[in-house]
Every structure is written in C-alpha cells, then in structure tokens.
C-alpha cells in the first residue's frame, strides 16, 4: 500500500484482487446489507415464536449417514445428496457432510432428540446452508435459510396454519404484492397410476405438464387425457380453479388428492381473503419429495420465489410422522422487504463528555467516537459518513448552522 495514502483508502492491485476473489456462488455480505438481513431474520423468527414455534439450531456439519444416509429424516429427499459437500472428520475418521438444507436436520431432531415431546411439534430455525452447485434460477451456493416445521399432524388445519404463518410473516416484514401458489405433488402421479400409464410415457407427459403443453397431453395421454387436461385448465386463480376441480369426474385414488387441495385452498381463501392465491395442480418441479399440498411464496417486487414448503413424511424405516413446513430464502426476501430508515449517526469529537455517548445511544443514536484530535470535527464527521456532529454540547445535523 502506498505510504502517502490513509489506511482506509482502497487500492486495487493484482494482489488485492486475488485476495478478494471468491469461488463461484459465494460472496461477502457488506454493510448495510448484513445488518438488513440480520434485522429481517430476527423479525421473522420473532413472528414464528409468537405462534409457538420454538427455535432450534442444528450444527452446520453432521455425519453423512445421519444427514443424508439410509432412512433420511425426510422420506424421498435424495436429491440433496448430490448437493452436499463432504469431508473427513479427523477425529472419528468418518465422512461428514455440510448441510445443503436444514429441513432434514429439523426432522431428525424431531424424531430423535424430541421424539418424546408432545405432538404436534412446532419448531423454527435460521442458519446458513451450502450447496455444491447453484442453478440457473439460484446461482448462490451459500445463503441463509429460515423456516418453520409443524410435525405430528396430518390435518387440513396444519396445512393451513403453516401456509398462513409463512404468508403473514412476510407481510408483517413489510413485503407487498405477496402471492401464494398451491400445488399437490402426488396428484399427477396418482392420475398416471390410475390409468396404468407406461413409465416412458409417464415421463414424457410429466415434462409436457411442466411446459403446460395441453396439446401434447391431449394427443398422447390416452384415457388419462381428460383428467390431465382438466388439471391443466384449473391452473390459475384459486376461486376459478375450485370450480373446475370440483366439477371433474375423477378416479377414487385421484379424487382424495383433489379434495385435499380444494379443502386447503378454500380454508386459505377464508382466512386470508386479501391474499392473492393461485393453484397449479400439475406443478411438481422442486416438490418431488412432498407427500401432499405444497406451496411457493412470491412477491410482485422480485422475480424469484421468496420461499417454498409443503407436506412431507418425516422419518425413515419404521418411524414416520406427518409433517409440513416451509423455508424462506433470505437473499430473495431481502430484495423484497423494505429497509429500515438509516439510523442517525453522530460523530463525537475527542473532547465530548465521556458519559454523553451512553445517553445518546439509549435514545437511538449511533455514535462514532473520535480516536484522535481533529482540526475540523464537521469535516471528519462527513468523511466517516455521519449525519450529525457533536458541537457546543448538542448534536448538530451536517449542513445546519451551529
């Protein structure tokens, strides 16, 4: 660094550029973003706590067999195995994994450490996750994930509570233009099974449904085409979707799934009448391990989803519990949530009374105390980004006459 420049001055050199370089998908969170996220996390977690969801904090790293092994704590969630960083524990010589998702850890805690606690069990969490690769929609590999899980109830009311908690918590955090998109992951598979659709054709139809390609479905689905096209037609605003779904003639194995989706949707319409609710009966992408009603949360102010969740089975061989929950992705939530006003930042010259800082901070000020005598306190306050300076025994706003 050049000796004629202050230490606080950033000088970009080949060496500093090399030191600042981070792997793809990883980034530093700087002021004021780090403080914005911290405030949001605590606000949301306080909201969960107000509904009886008690906070737990699992470790960042676990033994691989407990994190993702046989009898995974969330049945059917095998896709995360390929997203897990692995390393050898030097103490036990056993393979460990860095968590790519916290949901499985909460389920493990519920069925082991809290296995004797009364049900339903309400748990909340917040923490960092790390994934081996990003995706086109979410290139970040490390991000903060927070959420809530309701374990031990199979009721419609449990589905409604968890969806309502996610939506209302985001609204309370100041997010506007919120919408909830409901789905039922097993629904399409139950239709394909009811009509004994061959595996290869099932895969092709699944892809066509993901593309909302009604023409392909009508042409190739055979006896299942009427039902599948009806489900496609029901995609959209919740009230219109209910009319279509309730008018459909369905096989018994399919009707129970549709009835559950309708029951949850109607209950949400009743308790959240001002919330935009849509239904996508054929949506499955990202919900493969869900065993019932799932949902995604969106805001009109950002393009990516704020979070997602739904019903799943917690436990493995011999021990399974009905559960539902959601995870919020804080990087996206931060982009949709309003920021708190910048705090009043006051520069205290070296000769300011020692006790005044404590008094001012109790009143909500942020104080920056001088570490050296300066010739012009106002210029120093401006250099340090302060909005006020202590002059003649009072805080004076920068730009005002003293």
Burial class (CB in 10 A: 0-12, 13-18, 19+), 362: exposed
Long-range contacts of 388-395 (CB under 8 A, 24+ apart): 388/344, 388/345, 388/346, 388/347, 389/346, 389/347, 389/349, 390/346, 390/347, 390/348, 390/349, 390/352, 390/356, 395/344, 395/346, 395/360, 395/365
- With cut-offs at 50, 70 and 90, classify the pLDDT of residue 402: very low
Q: How many residues does the chain have?
A: 402
Nearest Cα to 273, choosing from 154, 180, 400, 136? Answer: 180
Give buried/exposed letters for 280-293 (b at 16+ CB in 10 A, else e): bbbbbebbebbbbb
387 by DSSP, 3-state: which? coil
Higher pLDDT, 135 or 215: 215
Given a cut of 70, whether residue 12 has pLDDT beyond it is: no
Q: What is the pLDDT of residue 289?
A: 77
Using the predicted structure, report yes or no on whether residue 382 has a pLDDT greater than 50: yes
Q: Looking at residue 8, what is its pLDDT? A: 45
Kindly report whether the global pTM for this prediction surpasses the value 0.75. Answer: yes
**69 band by pLDDT with thresholds 50, 70 and 90:** low
* Contacts with 77 (C-beta within 8 Å, 6 or more apart), sequence order: 101, 103, 104, 289, 312
Statement: residue 172 has pLDDT above 70: yes
Tokens of 84: 């897990």
pLDDT at 7 over 70: no
CA–CA separation, 133 and 83 (whole Å): 6
Question: What is the pLDDT of the chain when averaged over all its residues?
Answer: 90
Percent of the chain beyond pLDDT 90?
Answer: 76
Contacts of 298 (CB under 8 A, 6+ apart): 178, 179, 180, 181, 305, 306
Mean pLDDT along residues 387-396: 94
Is pLDDT at 10 greater than 80 in this prediction? no
Sorting pLDDT into bands at 50, 70 and 90, what band is 400? low
Residue extents of the structural domains in the chain = 345-397
Per residue in 291-300, pLDDT (tens digit) is 899 999 999 9
Residue pair 381/388 in contact by the 8 Å Cβ criterion: yes
Query: Which band of pLDDT confidence, cut at 50, 70 and 90, is reported for residue 20?
Result: confident
Confidence (pLDDT) at 106: 93
Which range (218-227, 243-252, 391-400) has the least confidence?
391-400
Q: Residue with structure tokens 């009721």?
A: 155
Alpha-carbon dihedral angle through residues 285, 291, 293, 294, given to the nearest 10 degrees: -40
Residues 327-347 have a mean pLDDT of 94
Kindly state the average pLDDT of the residues 346-364.
93
Look at the block and give the residue holding tokens 């340090």. Answer: 384
pLDDT of residue 318: 67
- pLDDT > 70 fraction of the chain, expressed in percent and rounded: 91
pLDDT of residue 6: 44
| Lowest mean per-residue pLDDT among 126-135, 279-288, 349-358, 367-376 | 279-288
**Cα 369 to Cα 5: distance, rounded to the nearest angstrom:** 22
Tell me the pLDDT band of 9, cut-offs 50, 70 and 90.
very low
Report, as an integer, the average pLDDT of 47-66. Answer: 95
CA–CA distances in Å: residue 329 to residues 23, 56, 402: 20, 18, 47
Q: Which of 251, 262, 201, 259 is nearest to 226 (CA)?
A: 251
Instruction: Look at residue 81 in the predicted model and tell me its pLDDT.
Output: 78
Give the position of tokens 């496609």.
232
Peptide bond connecting 32 to the previous residue in cis, omega within 30 degrees of 0: yes
Calculate mean pLDDT across residues 249-278: 96
Q: Give the residue-averaged pLDDT of 65-87.
A: 69
How far is residue 329's CA from residue 143's CA, in Å, rounded to a whole number? 7
Residues 173 and 178: their CA atoms lie apart, in Å, by: 11
């Amino acid at each position: 660094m050049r000796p004629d420049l202050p230490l606080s001055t950033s000088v970009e050199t080949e060496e500093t550029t090399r030191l600042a370089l981070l792997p793809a998908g990883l980034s530093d969170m700087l002021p004021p973003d780090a403080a914005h996220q911290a405030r949001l996390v605590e606000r949301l977690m306080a909201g969960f706590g107000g509904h009886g969801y008690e906070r737990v904090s699992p470790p960042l790293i676990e033994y691989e067999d407990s994190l993702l092994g046989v009898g995974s704590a969330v049945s059917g969630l095998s896709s995360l195995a390929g997203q897990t960083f692995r390393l050898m524990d030097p103490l036990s010589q056993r393979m460990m994994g860095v968590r790519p998702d916290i949901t499985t850890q909460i389920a493990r805690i519920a069925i082991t450490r809290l296995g004797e606690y009364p049900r339903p069990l309400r748990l909340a969490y917040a923490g960092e996750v790390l994934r081996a690769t990003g995706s086109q929609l979410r290139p970040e590999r490390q991000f903060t994930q927070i959420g809530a899980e309701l374990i031990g109830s199979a009721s419609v009311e449990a589905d409604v509570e968890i969806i309502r908690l996610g939506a209302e918590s985001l609204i309370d955090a100041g997010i506007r233009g919120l919408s909830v998109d409901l789905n039922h992951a097993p629904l399409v598979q139950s239709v394909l099974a009811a009509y004994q659709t061959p595996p290869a054709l099932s895969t092709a139809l699944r892809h066509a449904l993901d593309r909302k390609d009604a023409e392909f479905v009508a042409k190739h689905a055979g006896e299942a085409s009427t039902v599948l096209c009806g489900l496609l037609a029901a995609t959209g605003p919740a009230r219109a979707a209910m009319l279509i779904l309730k008018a459909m003639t369905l096989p018994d194995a399919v009707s129970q799934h549709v009835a559950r989706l309708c029951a949850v949707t109607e209950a949400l319409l009743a308790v959240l009448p001002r919330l935009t609710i849509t239904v996508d009966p054929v949506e499955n992408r990202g919900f493969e391990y869900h065993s019932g009603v799932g949902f995604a949360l969106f805001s009109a102010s950002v393009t990516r989803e704020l979070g997602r969740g739904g019903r799943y089975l917690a436990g493995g061989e011999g021990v399974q519990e009905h559960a539902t929950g959601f995870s919020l992705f804080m990087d996206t939530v931060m982009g949709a949530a309003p920021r708190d006003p910048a705090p009043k930042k006051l520069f205290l010259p070296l000769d300011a009374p020692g006790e005044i800082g404590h008094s001012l901070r109790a009143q909500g000020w942020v104080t920056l105390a001088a570490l050296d005598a300066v010739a012009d306190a106002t210029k120093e306050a401006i250099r340090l980004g302060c909005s006020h300076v202590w002059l003649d025994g009072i805080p004076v706003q920068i730009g005002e006459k003293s």
